Amino acid sequence: MAESLLKAVDIYKSFVGVQALKKVNFEIKPGEIHCLAGENGSGKSTLIKIISGVYSPDDGHMEFDGKSYSKITPIEAIKNGIQVIYQDFSVFPNLTVMENLAFNSELADRRHLVNWKRMREIAEEAVAKIDFKVDLDALVGNLTVAEKQMIAISRALMFNTKLIIMDEPTTALTKKEVRNLFNIILKLKERGIAILFVSHKLNEVFEISENFTILRSGELVATGSTSELDAKKFSYYMTGRDFQQRHFVPVNLSENPIFEARGVGMGGRFTDVSFAVHRGEILGITGLLDSGRTELALSIFGIKPIETGQFLVDGNPVRISSPQVAIGNNIGYVPEDRLSEGLFLSQSIADNIVISEIDRLVKSAGILDKKKRSAEIDKWVNELAIATPDPNNACQTLSGGNQQRIVLAKWLACNLDVLVLNGPTVGVDIGSKHDIHGILQQLAKEGLGLIIISDDLPEVLENCSRVLVMKAGRIVADMNAGETDEKTILSYML
């Protein structure tokens, strides 16, 4: 058995009295693909930063190739072959691919003058290591997420790398791009490079990882071979809760649709799309990223108005030309990127909840009714179980799952008839994901019409009563969710 490449031994770390890690042990061997999992706040990021030298442990020590360190610097971690690829990839969007790849080498060698020929040679050698075909003179800001990730991997391999830590590497990738990434990871493994894969996506954990470590509330709760793990155990280790599989079955469907699309189309993004949504129903719309599903969601909310066909609300034709018109027709929209599109992160939790109904909370004299505002905030914090000690805290202090609940609260306060959710649990951990699904199913039972747009097929099958599959801007299948499966849906998507 190979000797350990890295060991974290009895690691403790706290911040202002909050115990982030408590007696955590971790080990990875050369060429091993290891999954580090845990919910938001479990201590994953803290452990990564201790391994990479960003933080120093309060107690315990690190071992690199058998050599012990009570603390290390980021430079020492790099010299020991440790590289971290964070979710934002830490690339310079205003620089070229060549400049991004050669920049660190030039700094490390303390060069004072730019030698463009040398920089191009460095960049060519870097991309060749993973057979990455890219225009070295292209601005990185114009590249896709997957291409930026390949640049980060190429750059990481330039420094005698022994371990690459990938933090949620598949969050913004398509299924095809995930497959390409996994192929790269397997090639790195063959070269003896270890991969620490940080994720909470069950299917990816089982597909790519040989071993796993799960943290919960700063403590190690399980570690071992992935072959001995199943979805039920994984969820329990992550959350400490037993989840029951629950497929949504609609009750008390309205006789007539609350919302209809009849032959709608927009600028070549989607064409001749028709469907209907009843009160009490959850309609799922799925497809690959270029299928037109996101553009359809934006058109329902008036961000990108349709050019052909018509929408109907309660049987009446409506031209949804803007979000204001959509809101006026009791249609809400939860965007996929809640951070940039769904929330005012620096503002308070309270303000984010009531912002969409602020006119209703103002007295006739134009003065905010503080008592009514406070009652509304308390209502949604309690109903959606938003975990906060004080609603006046900034929204950015919450976990992803709680932020998503605030987006839901903002819209539910508007007494909607239809709610469109684009990727409702993207970036949300297992426990919060399960809770949000429960909230959505309960909303449908109370008479709301919901449309879930997602490429997370287990999510669609569990929560939707009907599933529409989009491909190349058209609906290619309309299925009863209880009578189909992932394989069948994928056959239409692909």
> DSSP assignment of 227-245, as one string?
GG--HHHHHHHHHS-PPPP
End-to-end, the C-alpha distance of the chain in Å comes to 42
pLDDT over 70 percentage in the chain: 97
Range from 102-116, 169-183, 328-342, 426-440 carrying the lowest mean pLDDT: 102-116
Mean pLDDT of 344-369: 80
Whether the predicted pLDDT of 474 surpasses 90: yes
How many CA atoms does the CB half-sphere of 171 hold within 13 Å? Answer: 20
Question: Which residues, in sequence order, are CB contacts of 161 under 8 Å at separation 6+?
Answer: 81, 82, 83, 193
Neighbour tally for 407: CB within 10 Å: 22
DSSP 108-153: HTT--S--HHHHHHHHHHHHHTTT----TTSBGGGS-HHHHHHHHH
Nearest to 433 by CA among 407, 408, 400: 400
State the Cα–Cα distance between residues 274 and 272, nearest whole angstrom.
6
Where in the chain are the domains? Answer: 6-239, 257-493
> Which tens digit of pLDDT belongs to each residue from 294-323?
999 999 999 999 999 999 999 999 999 999
Architecture of 257-493 per CATH? 3-Layer(aba) Sandwich (3.40)
pLDDT band at 215 (very low <50, low <70, confident <90, very high): very high
CA angle 220, 225, 229 (to 5 degrees): 85
Burial zone of 494 (CB within 10 Å; 0-12 exposed, 13-18 middle, 19+ buried): exposed
Question: Which residues, in sequence order, are CB contacts of 293 under 8 Å at separation 6+?
Answer: 285, 286, 287, 453, 455, 470
State the Cα–Cα distance between residues 26 and 295, nearest whole angstrom.
44
**Cα dihedral angle (331, 337, 343, 348), rounded to 10 degrees?**
140
pLDDT for 293: 93
pLDDT for 395: 85
DSSP 329-384: TTEEEE-S-IIIII--TTSBHHHHHHGGGGGGGB-TTS-B-HHHHHHHHHHHHHHT
SS3 308: strand
State the Cα–Cα distance between residues 124 and 62, nearest whole angstrom.
35
The residue whose two tokens read 């303000």 is 351
pLDDT for 481: 93
pTM: 0.72
DSSP 8-state secondary structure symbol assigned to residue 85: E
Mean pLDDT of 23-33: 96
Range from 280-294, 347-361, 476-490 carrying the lowest mean pLDDT: 347-361
State the Cα–Cα distance between residues 466 and 281, nearest whole angstrom.
8
CATH code of 6-239, in short, is 3.40.50.300
State the Cα–Cα distance between residues 317 and 314, nearest whole angstrom.
9
Contact call for residues 436 and 277 (beta carbons, < 8 A): no
